[in-house]
Amino acid sequence: MIRGKNILLGISGGIACYKDLELCSRLIKKGANLKIIMTKSAIEFVRPLAFETMGKCEVYEDMWQGHHKEVYHIELSKWADVFLIAPATASTIGKMANAIADNFLIASYLACSKDVIIAPSMNTQMLNNPATQKNIETLISYGVKVINPESGILACNTIGDGRMEEPSNIVEYLEYYFTTKDLSGKKIIVSAGPTIEPIDYVRYITNHSSGKMGYNIAREAKKRGADVVLVSGPVNPFEIKGITKINVKTNIEMKEAIEKHFASADGLIMAAAPVDYKCKEVSDKKIKKSGESLHLEFIENLDILKYFSSKKNNQTVIGFAAETDDLIANANKKLTSKNADYIIANDLKREGAGFNTDTNIASIISKDSVKNLELMTKAELANEILNLIR
Ligand code: PMT
């Protein structure tokens, strides 16, 4: 959790400085406390006033600024929970690696006993230069963490590695960094999104699931240190780094993907909305319009949750119930008929709950209890669900 954390942000002089305005805004919205150090070169790109405004904090420029009672490069390090240097230019990385404390940022780095994270940003040739690479390796050997630069169009109009990672991903990195790894050593399978079942060569049936619920569970599980397998229907609400993702379309594909990992898993969370019915006969051609009504026969589809509940050993198996009426009664029936350990019941008709929202309202149902939760983000609900894994 970033909320309440003290983040010391060091900004060195690269064009990517402008991205830090968005970074500050995102960190403040997440509830972080900021203090900022800018190098003289950084100030050439963006005025400190912009960062004071976006970061809601003081910006330190040099050692000799004001008449400080405290020794500020020492005090800032004591205050910080983490020191993030973004962008970290080739020059700043070089000075860090070689202890050249000729500015306030580097002096603060050398005085810092907390974790230091750098987000390098520079031209591809500069990045690939053996001297820069050696300096980065040196910093890694000293325990500095590196948010690797992305590939893309650079300010010098070339395409290559060296773009500072996007602010949203830096925030994501910090979220991960600050989260307690209480699920470390656990393997968790999460299903997400809809499945589709074909009608003919061009048509299919599906439902409105966006995948947001399942993806949030996968992302939070990853942050908490779990080994995550995400089995996703044909949706992609956002990217999650560092997990195993398997894309599927039909129920049978979803079942087969889960089957590969189930025996070694500690938990299965079925947030997906698999299609309940499929066509008895699927035409391998496009069905032509005939001017008459079209009658299709649907048969019940494989129930994936029920299948794995019948195979569970030590795994915690958690299903959802997506209901439009009699929420708790129907969810209880699903708990029993599908033999799940828990059912997360959500009423699709409630404002802020169900398909394609960023929030949900759920009740956690087990054999002997019902816990009604308030409206919360899908990320918050994900953590409530992950707390159930044994
Ligand atoms: O993806 P979002 O847009 O974020 O929306 C989230 C959600 C509404 C899809 C999610 O919160 C949710 O409720 N997922 C379960 C949807 C569903 O299929 O519910 P159900 O009540 O029909 O099924 C009960 C359980 O059995 C579910 O865990 C489901 O994954 C599973 N199931 C259902 C049918 C089937 N053939 N096989 C199954 O395994």
Domains in the chain, CATH or no CATH each: 6-178 (3.40.50.1950), 187-386 (3.40.50.10300)
Task: Give the span between the Cα atoms of 57 and 276, in whole angstroms.
Answer: 54
User: What is the 193 CA–ligand 1 centroid distance (Å)?
Assistant: 8
Radius of gyration of the chain (CA): 26
Task: Give the span between the Cα atoms of 243 and 251, in whole angstroms.
Answer: 22
Active site residue 57: no
| Phi, psi (degrees; rounded to nearest 5) at 240 | -125, 120
Q: Give the orientation angle of helix 48-55 with respect to helix 19-29, to 10 degrees.
A: 20
Average pLDDT across the chain, whole number: 95
Task: Give the span between the Cα atoms of 116 and 43, in whole angstroms.
Answer: 22
Ligand 1 binding pocket includes 59 (Cβ within 6 Å)? no
Q: Which residue, judged by its Cα, is nearest atom 22 of ligand 1?
A: 322
Q: Which residue, judged by its Cα, is nearest atom 13 of ligand 1?
A: 322
Ligand 1 binding pocket includes 321 (Cβ within 6 Å)? yes
Report yes or no on whether pTM surpasses 0.85: yes
User: What is the 272 CA–ligand 1 centroid distance (Å)?
Assistant: 5
Q: Given the CA of residue 193, which atom of ligand 1 is nearest to it? A: 1
Q: Which residue, judged by its Cα, is nearest atom 24 of ligand 1?
A: 321
Q: Given the CA of residue 191, which atom of ligand 1 is nearest to it? A: 30
Q: In the numeric block, which tokens belong to residue 92?
A: 């700043």
Q: Given the CA of residue 362, which atom of ligand 1 is nearest to it? A: 11
User: What is the 194 CA–ligand 1 centroid distance (Å)?
Assistant: 8
Ligand 1 binding pocket includes 34 (Cβ within 6 Å)? no
> Measured between alpha carbons, how far is residue 109 from residues 81, 114, 241 in Å?
13, 9, 28
pLDDT given at position 157: 78
202 CB neighbour count, 10 Å cutoff: 10
- 390 residues of the chain, pLDDT tens digit each: 899 999 999 999 999 999 999 999 999 999 999 999 999 999 999 999 999 999 999 999 876 665 555 567 788 989 999 999 999 999 999 999 999 999 999 999 999 999 999 999 999 999 999 999 999 999 999 999 999 998 888 777 778 889 999 999 999 999 999 999 999 999 999 999 999 999 999 999 999 999 999 999 999 999 999 999 999 999 999 999 899 999 999 999 999 999 999 999 999 999 999 999 999 999 999 999 999 999 999 999 999 999 999 999 999 999 999 999 999 999 999 999 999 999 999 999 999 999 999 999 999 999 999 999 999 999 999 999 999 999
CB 143 within 8 A of CB 115: yes
Ligand 1 binding pocket includes 334 (Cβ within 6 Å)? yes
Catalytic residue among 17, 24, 156, 279: 156
Q: Given the CA of residue 343, which atom of ligand 1 is nearest to it? A: 28
Q: In the numeric block, which tokens belong to residue 323?
A: 């209901």
**In the chain, % of residues over pLDDT 90:** 92
Q: Given the CA of residue 275, which atom of ligand 1 is nearest to it? A: 36
Q: In the numeric block, which tokens belong to residue 302?
A: 């494989």
Please give the single-letter amino acid code of residue 168: S
Q: In the numeric block, which tokens belong to residue 50?
A: 């912009």
Q: Which residue, judged by its Cα, is nearest atom 21 of ligand 1?
A: 321
For the chain, how long is the longest CA-to-CA vector?
A: 88
Task: Give the span between the Cα atoms of 43 and 105, in whole angstroms.
Answer: 13
Task: Give the span between the Cα atoms of 358 and 350, in whole angstroms.
Answer: 13
User: What is the 365 CA–ligand 1 centroid distance (Å)?
Assistant: 15
pLDDT given at position 68: 56
User: What is the 295 CA–ligand 1 centroid distance (Å)?
Assistant: 27
DSSP labels, 41-67: HHHHHS-HHHHHHHHTS-EE--TTSS-
Q: Which residue, judged by its Cα, is nearest atom 14 of ligand 1?
A: 271
Residue 262, SS3 per DSSP: helix
Q: Where are the alpha helices (DSSP H) in the chain?
A: 19-29, 40-45, 48-55, 72-79, 90-98, 104-110, 124-128, 130-141, 167-178, 212-223, 251-262, 304-309, 327-337, 378-386
User: What is the 320 CA–ligand 1 centroid distance (Å)?
Assistant: 5
Ligand 1 binding pocket includes 307 (Cβ within 6 Å)? no
